[in-house]
Chains A and B, each alone.
Chain A
Amino acid sequence: MDTTPPRSLPKPKAAETPRPRDERRRPRPLIRSAGVRFAFVYAVVFGVSAFALAFSLWYSTVGLLTRQVQNAIHNDATALSDHYELGGLPLLINAIHDRLLAGNPDSEGIYLLLDPLGNRIIGNLDTLPQVVDQPNTWYELPVSTPNGTVLAVMRVYPLPGGAELLVGRDVRARAELRDVLRDGLLWAMGIMLVLGILGAILIRSLFRRIIRDIATTTRAISRGDLTRRISKTGDGDEFDELAEIINDMLERIARLMDGVRQVSNSIAHDLRTPITRARARLEDASLHARSEQDLRVAIERATADLDGIVGVFEALLRIAEIEAGSRRAAFAQIDLAPLIHDIDELYRAVAEERGLTLETSIADSLPLLGDRELIQQAIANLLDNALKFSPANAAISFVARLDETTIEISVADRGPGISEADRDRATERFFRAESARSTSGSGLGLALVAAVAQLHNGTLRLNDNYPGLRAIISLPTSHQLSVVSRQKEI
Chain B
Amino acid sequence: MRILVVEDDKDVAGFVVKGLREAGHTVEHADNGRDGLFLAASENFDAIILDRMLPGGIDGLRLLETLRAQDNATPVVFLSALGQVDDRVKGLKAGGDDYLTKPFAFAELLARVEALTRRGKSDGPTTRLLVGDLEMDLLSRGVKRGGQKIDLQPREFRLLEYLMRHAGQVVTRTMLLEGVWDYHFDPQTNVIDVHVSRLRQKIDKPFELPLLHTVRNAGYMLRSEEV
| Inter-chain contact A346/B83, CB cutoff 8 Å | no
A349 to B153, CA, bound (A): 12
Q: Which residues of A contact B181 (CB under 8 A)?
A: 342, 346
| Inter-chain contact A346/B103, CB cutoff 8 Å | no
| Inter-chain contact B185/A349, CB cutoff 8 Å | no
| Inter-chain contact A349/B191, CB cutoff 8 Å | yes
**Is the CB of B119 closer than 8 A to any CB of chain A?**
no
Q: Which residues of A contact B101 (CB under 8 A)?
A: 314
Q: Which residues of B contact A321 (CB under 8 A)?
A: 84-85
A161 to B189, CA, bound (A): 125
Chain B residue nearest to A441 in the complex (CB)? B188
- Known A-B contacts A310-B103, A321-B85; the reply to A346 vs B185 at CB < 8 A is no
Q: Which residues of B contact A327 (CB under 8 A)?
A: 85
| Inter-chain contact B188/A445, CB cutoff 8 Å | yes
A347 to B155, CA, bound (A): 13
Q: Which residues of B contact A220 (CB under 8 A)?
A: none
Minimal beta-carbon separation of B217 from chain A (angstroms): 8
Cβ 8 A contact of A349, one of B105, B183, B184, B194:
B194
- Known A-B contacts A346-B195, A353-B194, A376-B183; the reply to A314 vs B189 at CB < 8 A is no
**Is the CB of B70 closer than 8 A to any CB of chain A?**
no
A475 to B181, CA, bound (A): 24
A383 to B183, CA, bound (A): 15
**Is the CB of A404 closer than 8 A to any CB of chain B?**
no
Q: Which residues of B contact A346 (CB under 8 A)?
A: 181, 187, 191, 195
Chain A interface residues toward B at CB < 8 A: 300, 306-307, 310-311, 314, 317, 321, 326-327, 330, 342, 345-347, 349-350, 353, 373, 376-377, 380-381, 383-384, 387-388, 440-441, 445
Minimal beta-carbon separation of A332 from chain B (angstroms): 13
Minimal beta-carbon separation of B90 from chain A (angstroms): 12
| Inter-chain contact A350/B189, CB cutoff 8 Å | yes
- Interface positions, chain B 171-192, Cβ under 8 Å from A, are 181, 183-191
- Known A-B contacts A310-B103, A317-B84; the reply to A384 vs B194 at CB < 8 A is no
Query: With A342-B181, A373-B184, A388-B188 given, can you name 20 additional A-B contacts, CB distance below 8 Å?
Result: A307-B105, A314-B83, A317-B83, A326-B86, A330-B85, A345-B155, A346-B181, A346-B191, A346-B195, A349-B198, A350-B189, A350-B190, A353-B197, A373-B183, A377-B183, A380-B187, A384-B187, A384-B188, A387-B189, A388-B189
A440 to B190, CA, bound (A): 13
Q: Which residues of A contact B83 (CB under 8 A)?
A: 314, 317
Chain B interface residues toward A at CB < 8 A: 83-86, 101, 103, 105, 155, 181, 183-191, 194-195, 197-198, 217
In this complex, the member of B105, B185, B217 whose beta carbon has the largest number of chain A beta carbons within 10 angstroms is: B185
A314 to B102, CA, bound (A): 10
Q: Which residues of B contact A353 (CB under 8 A)?
A: 194, 197
Chain B residue nearest to A384 in the complex (CB)? B188
Chain A residue nearest to B192 in the complex (CB)? A346
Q: Which residues of A contact B85 (CB under 8 A)?
A: 321, 327, 330, 373
A319 to B159, CA, bound (A): 30
Chain A residue nearest to B188 in the complex (CB)? A384
Closest 6 CB pairs of A and B: A384-B188, A377-B185, A350-B194, A349-B194, A380-B187, A384-B189
Q: Which residues of B contact A384 (CB under 8 A)?
A: 187-189
In this complex, the member of B105, B183, B189 whose beta carbon has the largest number of chain A beta carbons within 10 angstroms is: B189
A342 to B84, CA, bound (A): 24
A32 to B186, CA, bound (A): 57
Minimal beta-carbon separation of B116 from chain A (angstroms): 22
Chain A residue nearest to B186 in the complex (CB)? A311
Chain B residue nearest to A320 in the complex (CB)? B84
Minimal beta-carbon separation of A399 from chain B (angstroms): 19
| Inter-chain contact A380/B185, CB cutoff 8 Å | yes
Minimal beta-carbon separation of A243 from chain B (angstroms): 34
Chain B residue nearest to A339 in the complex (CB)? B182
In this complex, the member of A310, A349, A387 whose beta carbon has the largest number of chain B beta carbons within 10 angstroms is: A349
- Known A-B contacts A317-B84, A376-B183; the reply to A349 vs B195 at CB < 8 A is yes
| Inter-chain contact B188/A350, CB cutoff 8 Å | no
A373 to B86, CA, bound (A): 13
Q: Which residues of A contact B217 (CB under 8 A)?
A: 300
Chain A residue nearest to B104 in the complex (CB)? A310
Minimal beta-carbon separation of B201 from chain A (angstroms): 11
Q: Which residues of B contact A317 (CB under 8 A)?
A: 83-84
Minimal beta-carbon separation of A340 from chain B (angstroms): 13
Q: Which residues of A contact B155 (CB under 8 A)?
A: 345
A104 to B181, CA, bound (A): 115
A37 to B20, CA, bound (A): 71
Q: Can you identify 24 A-B contacts, CB atoms within 8 angstroms? A: A300-B217, A311-B186, A314-B83, A317-B83, A326-B86, A346-B191, A347-B189, A349-B195, A349-B198, A350-B190, A353-B194, A353-B197, A373-B183, A373-B185, A376-B183, A376-B185, A377-B183, A380-B183, A380-B185, A381-B188, A388-B188, A388-B189, A441-B188, A445-B188
A413 to B182, CA, bound (A): 27
A350 to B190, CA, bound (A): 8
A76 to B80, CA, bound (A): 105
| Inter-chain contact B191/A347, CB cutoff 8 Å | yes
A441 to B83, CA, bound (A): 22
| Inter-chain contact A383/B189, CB cutoff 8 Å | yes
Minimal beta-carbon separation of A389 from chain B (angstroms): 12
Q: Which residues of B contact A306 (CB under 8 A)?
A: 103
Q: Which residues of B contact A440 (CB under 8 A)?
A: 188
Q: Which residues of A contact B190 (CB under 8 A)?
A: 350
A347 to B101, CA, bound (A): 26
A349 to B197, CA, bound (A): 10
Q: Which residues of A contact B183 (CB under 8 A)?
A: 373, 376-377, 380
Chain B residue nearest to A322 in the complex (CB)? B85
